[in-house]
Every structure is written in structure tokens, then in C-alpha cells.
């Protein structure tokens, strides 16, 4: 299973804390991330993450391109709903792809925690 991690600038500290708190379960999966988000997470954890470009430079689109190929299974995207994003069309396209291909998408920490707990329970059940 491959999980994408993305966060807007004002949400990066929250994403880093989330990754630190959930490092054990996240380490069980292949991780990809937009450039700055992934770099900051790796600086603060022992997680290994494949990096794409920064979101505004096309990273969101790179991750989105993997969805129709079946190469992304879940996205955790901590969005900043109070700040206009210059690449908003890219973000909208990514969210639309999640809906079209039924990719679980968490846009905040509460939802992301529930998705990871579901994966954790599924892992325990499969043992």
C-alpha cells in the first residue's frame, strides 16, 4: 500500500507532529510526498519517503498522475482552508481524482487518524 503525504505551508508543523505520532504505523507502508512536506517529515522522523516536486511546482500533479495507474492507495493532505493557494486548480484536480477513483482522502488530522486506525485494525485482523 502506498500513502501520499501532502500539506500546505501553514499545516506543515501539524503534519510533522502527525507523522511523529504515527511513525510506527506509517513505517509499515510505502510513502510518497510533495517535496517540502516529505523533506521536513524525514528531517523529524526515521520514515523513508519518495519525494516529488513541491506542490506549487507540480508535486500535486505528479501524485495525482499516479492515481489512475493504481499506484496511490490513500492520501493524507493537510490543507489550509483559510489561505488562497496559487495552484488551487491542481489541488481541485487531485481531490477530484480521489473521488473518481475512490481513494481514501484525509484533509485534516482527525480524519487521517481514523484512516490510519482503520489500517491498523485491518493489519491486526489479517494476522
| Cα 75 from Cα 3, distance rounded (Å) | 6
Is 50 annotated to bind a ligand? Reply is no
Output the DSSP codes for 9-73: GGGHHHHHHHHHHTHHHHTTSEEEE-HHHHHHHHHHSS---EE---GGGTHHHHHHHHTTTT---
Is 87 annotated to bind a ligand? Reply is yes
Is 12 annotated to bind a ligand? Reply is yes
Question: In a 3-state reduction of DSSP, which class is residue 85?
Answer: coil
Among residues 9, 28, 60, 80, which one is catalytic? 60
Is 55 annotated to bind a ligand? Reply is yes
| Cα 34 from Cα 52, distance rounded (Å) | 5
| Cα 91 from Cα 85, distance rounded (Å) | 9
Is 59 annotated to bind a ligand? Reply is no
Is 35 annotated to bind a ligand? Reply is yes
- For residue 80, report the phi and psi dihedrals to the nearest 5 degrees: -100, 100
* Residue 28 annotated among the catalytic residues of the structure: no
Is 34 annotated to bind a ligand? Reply is yes
Residue numbers belonging to the annotated binding site for substrate: 8, 12, 34-37, 54-55, 87
Residue positions annotated with a catalytic role: 60
Amino acid at each position: 500500500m502506498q500513502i501520499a503525504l501532502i500539506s500546505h505551508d501553514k499545516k506543515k508543523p501539524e503534519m510533522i507532529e502527525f507523522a511523529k505520532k504515527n511513525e510506527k504505523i506509517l513505517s509499515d507502508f510505502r510513502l510518497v510526498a510533495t517535496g517540502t512536506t516529505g523533506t521536513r517529515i524525514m528531517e523529524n522522523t526515521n520514515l523513508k519517503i519518495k519525494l516529488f516536486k513541491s506542490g506549487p511546482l507540480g508535486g500535486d500533479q505528479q501524485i495525482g498522475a499516479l492515481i489512475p495507474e493504481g499506484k496511490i492507495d490513500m492520501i493524507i493532505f493537510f490543507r489550509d482552508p483559510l489561505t488562497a493557494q496559487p495552484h488551487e486548480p491542481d489541488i481541485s484536480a487531485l481531490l477530484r481524482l480521489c473521488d473518481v477513483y475512490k481513494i481514501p482522502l484525509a484533509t485534516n488530522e482527525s480524519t487521517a487518524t481514523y484512516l490510519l486506525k482503520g489500517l491498523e485494525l485491518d493489519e491486526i485482523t489479517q494476522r
